[in-house]
Amino acid sequence: MAQSKAKTKKQPRPKAETPKGFRDYFGAEVTERQKMLSQIAHVYHLYGFDALETSAVETVEALGKFLPDVDRPNEGVFAWQEDETADWLALRYDMTAPLARVAAQYRNDLPSPYRRYAMGPVWRNEKPGPGRFRQFYQCDADTVGAPSVAADAEICAMLSDTLEAVGISRGDYVVRVNNRKVLNGVMEVAGLAGDENEAARGIVLRAIDKLDRLGPDGVRDLLGEGRKDASGDFTKGAGMEADKAELVMGFMTAKRDTGAETCARLAELVAGSDVGAEGVAELETIATLLAAQGYGPDRIEIDPSVVRGLGYYTGPVFEAELTFEILDEKGRPRQFGSVAGGGRYDDLVKRFTGQAVPATGVSIGVDRLLAALRAKGQTSGAEAGPVIVTVMDRDRMADYQAMVGELRTAGIRAEVYLGNPKNFGNQLKYADKRDSPVAVIQGGDEAERGVVQIKDLVLGKKLAETATLEEWKDRPSQIEVPRADLVAEIRKMLAGE
């Protein structure tokens, strides 16, 4: 009796889908990003910063607890352990933690100050949402080992120059500068100094950071007893007395018409606090240094409402905000908002060395900046495809490759159609899908006569859309030219001549 064979369970096919919170980038998106990163790198290089590329993987211990609003070092990162005895490893979540490790590891070899820039993807294991991904690009520049606020002023100037270099016009952005020490002074005057008030200070910081979303009244509630939101959920407040809470509110609204007037108002608010006075003096120095270089309030301004990341930074903080209006998903006008931020963080390298090492830097959100350029019409999200040399005769592939070689040597992007050449219409459909501007055609008859046909695909589309378009009527959509004139004629066609 024959034995029955057990049925082998069929392995299901994997789903062809991008993991949640991640995305794929195609063609023009990648090219535009590379172009923008090159422009940014050029500015950074002009300022004397050197490139640095670190590993995408760090030990969890090296990354430390620097993600916002998390309780454990490995929360918010993609981490794994090779075995029970090995260190936990994680994908980097920013460019700053790896820099701190490099600055400590190579401190005897690197110049001091050490000035570096870094560009690349970072990963965050956070809940994704609309426009919020788990992998995104950052572009950082930092100076490690310079205690002077001249280093902070320089970063602000460089950030301003960088925005203009990539195509953000003056008047469409502002770099806003604040100082953590001033807020510490306000806290001290408000009676929130000391370790026993650490929890209350945290509540105040988070409340300030929500000013745009909650408005002044919502922040006042959080500074006081607490706030109940629309859903009925109650958030406990810092428990500040009303007059002390108004001191904090005054800090957020201290901006005046000039940097000097703003600093004067801040000095009033922190009167009696040494650390607060030190922070105001640093802001005055930054304003003076920038003014001497021609960076006025139309480009960089002192603004106490900048609060992002104040729990992380130890001194000056800055943020680049784009001020032009766009329409949101509901068609309502709003400002584009922040595309870069940074500040002074003098305690990060200390984790490795035990010694305080001054550091300051900035991080640009590459994807947001690209989106801003598209909103301004500076880039389209599309690019012209290559010139397509069609294949009329399989046996003459060498001739077609020779044409492509001449075009590439002349700096013209080009390719031979390498699909099935049997259906010529499919070749033109391929060229259309590639957004190709020109197709080259040479059959046996043209080869014998030493000519080629050049088809203007851009003009062809225009004529198909509007056959009576006056500006195009005198231009033929396809011309025959001597083979020797191939490159010159295509160059003219691409130039619109």
* pLDDT tops 60 at residue 362: yes
Is 199 domain-assigned? Answer: no
Is 327 domain-assigned? Answer: no
Residue 31 and residue 131 share a domain: yes
Q: Which two three-digit tokens encode residue 439?
A: 């197709």
**Mean pLDDT across 3-18:** 77
75 contacts 194 by C-beta, under 8 angstroms: no
* pLDDT tops 80 at residue 116: yes
* pLDDT tops 90 at residue 133: no
Residue 138 and residue 29 share a domain: yes
Residue 391's closest CA among 352, 422, 359, 434? 422
Query: Which of 357, 383, 409 finishes a domain?
Result: 383
Is 275 domain-assigned? Answer: no
Residue 417 and residue 369 share a domain: no
Query: Which of 383, 407, 437 finishes a domain?
Result: 383
Is 316 domain-assigned? Answer: no
Provide the residue range defining the domain that includes 461.
Answer: 387-494
Residue 29 and residue 130 share a domain: yes
Residue 141 and residue 39 share a domain: yes
Q: Provide the CATH number for the domain around residue 486.
A: 3.40.50.800
At residue 135, the pLDDT reads 92
**Lowest mean per-residue pLDDT among 79-88, 304-313, 352-361:** 304-313
* pLDDT tops 50 at residue 201: yes
Query: Helix or strand or coil: residue 383?
Result: coil
Q: Who wins on pLDDT, 41 or 338? A: 41
* pLDDT tens column, 423-458: 999 999 999 999 999 999 999 999 999 999 999 998
Is 174 domain-assigned? Answer: no
Domains identified in the chain, total number: 2
Residue 437 and residue 370 share a domain: no
Q: Provide the CATH number for the domain around residue 80.
A: 3.30.930.10
Give residue 474's pLDDT band: very low, low, confident or very high (50, 70, 90): low
Residue 352 and residue 392 share a domain: no
Is 424 domain-assigned? Answer: yes
At residue 72, the pLDDT reads 47
Is 408 domain-assigned? Answer: yes
* pLDDT tens column, 11-66: 888 999 999 989 898 888 898 999 999 999 999 999 999 999 999 999 988 887 64
Is 344 exposed, middle or buried, given 0-12, 13-18 or 19+ CB atoms closer than 10 A?
Answer: buried
Is 359 domain-assigned? Answer: yes
Q: Who wins on pLDDT, 402 or 373? A: 402
Residue 371 and residue 453 share a domain: no
Sheet arrangement for strand 414-416:
414-416, 387-389, 438-441, 451-456, 478-482
**Lowest mean per-residue pLDDT among 228-232, 312-316, 331-335, 407-411:** 331-335
Residue 454 and residue 367 share a domain: no
Residue 489 and residue 378 share a domain: no
